[in-house]
Amino acid sequence: MEEGLGKFVNEGERETCAEEPVEKWDMEKGLREIAETFENLFALPHVDIKTYSPLTLAYMGDGIYELIIRTILVKQGNAQAGRLHKRASSLVKASAQAAMLQAFKEDLTEEELAVFKRGRNAHPGTMAKNATVSDYKKATGFEALMGYLYLKGDWERLFELVRQGLTKGEFICDMKHLP
């Protein structure tokens, strides 16, 4: 057995680690290594994220936020794709993102609040058909913040805010397996 891996014990349907402790994963280091590998593999240039438009940040944030939600839902257990899509859609729509933002807005740093406001005040030229103007603007700000944190490499903060948004208020019933 390799050092630090521990022994896996089958408890019902889940394997758990027993006896030897497994070293806790250093999330910040691990995510930084992933980002560096991504940049090196695709020969991506370093760009100062403060130069990105708020709509570019929102574009990136939309994708990363949906990936986080899909990952959470899939990791909760196998389900039909249609059911997963319905649950994900209820959490990635503009009204849900606006509500999530309200759940953690008071905890944002000055820098994060400034990014949100830039995204909220951007003029996308389109509107979601099933959202109010207010929700759509807040959702764009939310997505800009998600994109900013992702591109900045502050994944821990990104995950913290998403978790905080999901566990406060109306989303707790959709995310019943979150600790």
Strands 7-11 and 14-18: antiparallel
22-54 pLDDT, tens digit each: 455 576 677 778 778 888 898 888 889 999 999
Domain boundaries, the chain: 1-45, 47-171
The yes-or-no answer on residue 62 being catalytic is: yes
Task: List the structure tokens of 112.
Answer: 């994060």
Rounded CA-CA distance 167/165 in Å is: 6
**CATH number listed for the domain at residues 47-171:** 1.10.1520.10
pLDDT at 36: 82
pLDDT at 125: 72
Higher-pLDDT residue of 17 and 36 is 36
Q: Identify whether the C-beta of residue 151 lies closer than 8 Å to the C-beta of residue 54.
A: no
Q: Which residue of the set 62, 107, 135, 174 is catalytic?
A: 62
Task: List the structure tokens of 157.
Answer: 């903060």
Task: List the structure tokens of 125.
Answer: 């030229």
pLDDT at 29: 76
142-163 pLDDT, tens digit each: 999 999 999 998 988 999 999 9
HSE (side-chain half, CA atoms, 13 Å) at 8: 8
Non-local CB neighbours of 104 within 8 Å, separated by 6+ positions: 161, 164, 165, 168
